[in-house]
Chain A
Amino acid sequence: MQFDLAIILDNWQSLAAGLARTIGICAISLPVGFLLGVAIALLRMHGGRLLGAFAGAYVELFRNIPFLIQVFLLFFVAPAYGLRLSPLMAAFVAMSAYTSAYAAEIMRGALLSIPAGQTEAGYALGLGYPTILRRVLLPQVLGYILPTSTNLTISLVKESAILSTITVPELTYAAQNIVGRTYSPVEVFTAIALIYWGLTALISALTKRLEIRLQPHLISRRDN
């Protein structure tokens, strides 16, 4: 078997467009999902019995059903109940919801890992919970959240390939199109495997640098 680089070179524009779409979908739904996840985590921890149970059920729901099936439910089943979304809209909703469930668990674990004394010290100083959360708790959990969120981000970038099943024109969908036209699965799928790998490696590298920048108290302790 021989590897024909020309096929990639001839189709690089479709691949680039697919990659751009993959990045675009992730770049929007990951932050949205994370913010939603923070809200779900807070609801679960401080929302009282009813809202807490709701948040818990939300997390379980999205974590216990395969992402592929979630996408199918949203795209093929939801229209029967009057919710009709374009493939791209469905992609954003599905990715955000899925992200939020995992982000909520990361967030909850992180907040629970901080000694209660930190929150108590904040209260004792007359601070309200929003201030304590923003100024005391969140900055401290960044060091914990960042590595786990990097893992989550990477798996979501990979999961986004599933969106090709509902004709979202992202990287995998573009690749399948090229294969359909050129009958060259070896070249095309090898190429997108490398592209996905490059993309996730880039994310790892960027967050590693961010990790170091966001933790001044840990660094200066090492210096002294």
Chain B
Amino acid sequence: MNDMPETEPAAVEITGLNKWYGDYHALRDIQLSVAPGERIVICGPSGSGKSSLIRCINRLERHDKGSITVEGLELTDDKKRIRTIRREIGMVFQHFNLFPHMTILENCMLAPMSARKLTRPKAEELARRFLGRVHIPEQADKYPGQLSGGQQQRAAIARALCMSPRIMLFDEPTSALDPEIIKEVLDTMIELANDGMTMLCVTHEMGFARQIADRVVFMDHGRIVETAPPGDFFTNPRQDRTRLFLRQLLH
């Protein structure tokens, strides 16, 4: 390791990543470097490995070959290191995964109090601040089951933000939502992007990708087929496979 790195370390540096589920080769030789503050949109057909890829970044899945480095720290089997890395990474799921037996406020306070050892008043202040930021401060004392899907997803975003992550992962955050609600969640994500958050989003919301992505990554059969800025990606894709995918997406 160099004492004085010439450049800031990448937020996420993935090299030669391979993953198998039993015999099934789900990720093949993935190479991806994400700079701090960069916004990456990942798309591709169902089963192409998008979820597997971002779930490897916070060790919800264990990779089999290659290396993943988060802010200079390599992911190994070391439990303490895994937890350190997880605290730097927020994740938002397709089905929200809020804790149904806790109020929205308690959902947001659990990790700051338990993992960051914040006092209750401090954690509550933090939680209310982020619930305000995702525009649902009035929902704080309700249970997840009492909120609309869009409100639940924004609560889930607030819950992740309460851990002050440096990187946010989104796995199809709007796929489970009704079309008229999708916008409120995307707007929240756009605000987050404009605040400079490093983001990796699996999504098929191409308008969103155009608006905030620095790069779009297209995956197929466990490989990254093409990586390009959204302008090039949508208007001038290099690979036939990408063109076919975009055509299908439009229909």
Measuring CB to CB, which residues of chain A are less than 8 angstroms from any residue of chain B? 115, 117-118, 120-121, 123-128, 131, 135-136, 139-140, 215-217, 220-221, 224
Q: How far apart are the CA atoms of A215 and B100 in the complex, in Å?
A: 11
- B184-200: which residues lie under 8 A (CB-CB) from chain A? none
**Does B19 count as interface, using CB distance less than 8 angstroms?**
no
Which 10 pairs show the lowest CB-CB distances between chains A and B? Answer: A126-B87, A125-B111, A121-B97, A124-B91, A117-B97, A126-B115, A217-B143, A126-B86, A139-B101, A217-B101
If A117-B97, A118-B99 touch, whether A125 touches B86 (CB-CB below 8 Å) is yes
A118 touches B97 (CB 8 A): yes
Residues of A within 8 A of B99 (CB): 118, 121, 135-136, 140
Are A124 and B89 CB-contacts (below 8 A) given A139-B101, A220-B146?
yes
Residues of B with C-beta under 8 A to A224: 146
Bound CA–CA A124/B168 (angstroms): 11
How many residue pairs at the A-B interface have CB separations less than 8 Å?
69
Given the known A-B contacts A120-B60, A120-B93, are A128 and B100 also in contact in the complex, defined by CB atoms under 8 Å? no
List the interface of chain B (C-beta within 8 A of A): 58-60, 83, 86-87, 89-91, 93, 95, 97-102, 110-111, 114-115, 143, 145-146, 159-160, 163
A127/B115 contact (C-beta < 8 A), A135-B110, A140-B101, A217-B145 known: yes
Instruction: Point out the residues of chain B lying under 8 angstroms from A131, CB to CB.
Output: 114-115
- The answer to whether A221 touches B110, judged by C-beta atoms less than 8 angstroms apart, is no
Q: Given the complex, which residues of A lie within 8 Å of B102, measured CB to CB?
A: 217
| Residues of B contacting A217 in the complex (Cβ-Cβ under 8 angstroms) | 100-102, 143, 145
Q: Is the interface of A mostly helix, strand, loop or mixed?
A: helix
Q: How many angstroms between the C-alpha atoms of A10 and B110 in the bound complex?
A: 59
Cα–Cα distance between A115 and B97 once the two chains are bound (Å)? 9
Give bound CA distance, A220 to B89, whole Å.
33
Contact B159 A125 (CB under 8 A): yes
B100 and A126 within 8 A (CB)? no
A117-B95, A135-B114, A221-B143 as given contacts; A124 in contact with B101, CB under 8 Å: no
Q: With A140-B101, A217-B101 known to touch, is A125 a contact of B143 (CB < 8 Å)?
A: no
Docked pose: A127 CA to B109 CA in angstroms: 12
Report B149 CB to chain A, min CB distance, Å.
15
Query: Do residues B145 and A221 form an inter-chain contact, with CB atoms below 8 A?
Result: yes
Which among A136, A140, A216 has the greatest number of chain B C-beta atoms within 10 A? A136
Q: Which residues of B contact A115 (CB under 8 A)?
A: 95, 97
A123 touches B86 (CB 8 A): yes
Least distance between B176 CB and chain A CB atoms (Å) = 11
B111 touches A120 (CB 8 A): no
Question: Quick one: closest A residue to B93, CB to CB?
Answer: A117
Q: Check A125–B115 contact: CB distance below 8 A.
A: yes
Closest A residue to B114 using CB positions: A131
